[in-house]
A = this chain, B = another copy of it.
Amino acid sequence: MRATVLYGPRDVRVEDRAKPNIQKPTDAIIRLAAACVCGSDLWPYRGTDVVTQPTPMGHEYVGGVDEIGSEVTELKVGDFVVGSFFASDNTCEICQAGYQTSCIHREGVSGAQSEFMRVPLADGTLVATPAMPEADKIPSLLAASDVLGTGWFGAVAAEVGPGKTVAVVGDGAVGLLAVLAAQQLGAERIIAMSRHKDRQRLATEFGATDIVVERGDEGVAKIKELTGGLGAHSVIEAVGTQESMMQAIRATRPGGHVGYVGVAHDVSLDGLELFFSHVHLHGGPAPVRDYLPRLIDLILRGEINPGKVFDLELPLDEAAEAYRVMDERRAIKVLLRP
């Protein structure tokens, strides 16, 4: 089969590899219907995260169940499924509390930018759609697998709700879908922070009521200005840098909530500033599995269209170009067709 492999910084190759096999009785093999490149894939692509050996890439996926292990009971061959980027048993105490991405049996999922992939703990990780979805729903279901679920968790972690003013730091796919999540969760006002016209437009389409183009301290000052000097009730951080994290914390009013979902890189929080900020801080890897049933339902009923974040589609064999385009921010998110 064809699969995308990262060999080192900016060295993405699509090559022939053996089709994965069932390794444990709880595994499933998925034939990918679509895959994509994640903002977090850019960390190893850029060399920020060091890759020491050729690494199969991709952790966002939708597709048909091709094969199941002997202990898989909730799924059958032919089901169309959406999965999460961490495999979970969905039964342990941590999963039951809604933190499947910290499941006591958690396993990473990888190799989704290819024709087939192996998903561990299939019953606890994958959610089947009621029927084969129409082709135009595939991008949205693929978005649910990570970026939508992650934006959603950001909004949940930031305690978004009716009457709240929400600010979103980051205009990548996750940030834009955090806007959509905030709108779905009933936020009164949603401030998207973006300097790019096309992303501003999509943010507005997803429910943003205000756009702030300033960044850093100026961005914070602008949020304060828009909120009577107090800061937003809820701020979603969807980048993962020191600047974006501090922007989120400082734009939040005392007693307010920061939901952070950008994978933190070289971020260090000063204890004393955090202490006097009086904010709530919560985040981490989004428990997408927890939200998938609701998200799939919203998508299939046509209530939301998160697939709009895919503004470029390429065949799997052009994965290297997909990384390039994402790296240079020439596209918000690239969908790959195996």
Residues of A within 8 A of B (CB): 93-94, 97-99, 101-102, 104, 228-230, 240, 242, 245, 253-255, 260, 263-272, 274-285
Contacts and interface: CB of A to CB of B under 8 A. Distances in A.
Contacts of A230: 93-94, 104
B276 A271 contact: no
Contacts of A269: 268-269, 271, 274
Contacts of A101: 278
Q: Give chain A's interface secondary structure class.
A: mixed
Contact of A255 (B97, B240, B255, B260): B97
Contacts of A268: 268-271
Contact of A282 (B97, B229, B281): B281
- Identical copies in the complex: 2
B265 A271 contact: yes
A263 B270 CA distance: 12
Contacts of A265: 271-272
21 contacts: A94-B253, A94-B254, A94-B255, A97-B254, A97-B255, A98-B255, A242-B271, A260-B275, A263-B272, A263-B275, A264-B271, A264-B274, A264-B275, A267-B270, A268-B271, A274-B284, A275-B283, A275-B284, A275-B285, A276-B285, A280-B280
Contacts of A267: 270-272
Contact of A264 (B240, B260, B272): B272
Contacts of A102: 254-255, 276, 278
Contacts of A98: 255
Contacts of A270: 267-268
- Sorted nearest first, the 9 A-B pairs with minimum C-beta distance are A267-B271, A264-B271, A102-B254, A99-B255, A269-B269, A278-B284, A281-B281, A280-B282, A264-B275
Nearest to A263: B275
A104 B227 CA distance: 13
A245 to B, nearest CB: 6
A92 to B, nearest CB: 9
Given A229-B104, A230-B93, A255-B102, A278 B271 contact: no
A189 to B, nearest CB: 15
A281 B284 contact: no
A245 B271 CA distance: 9
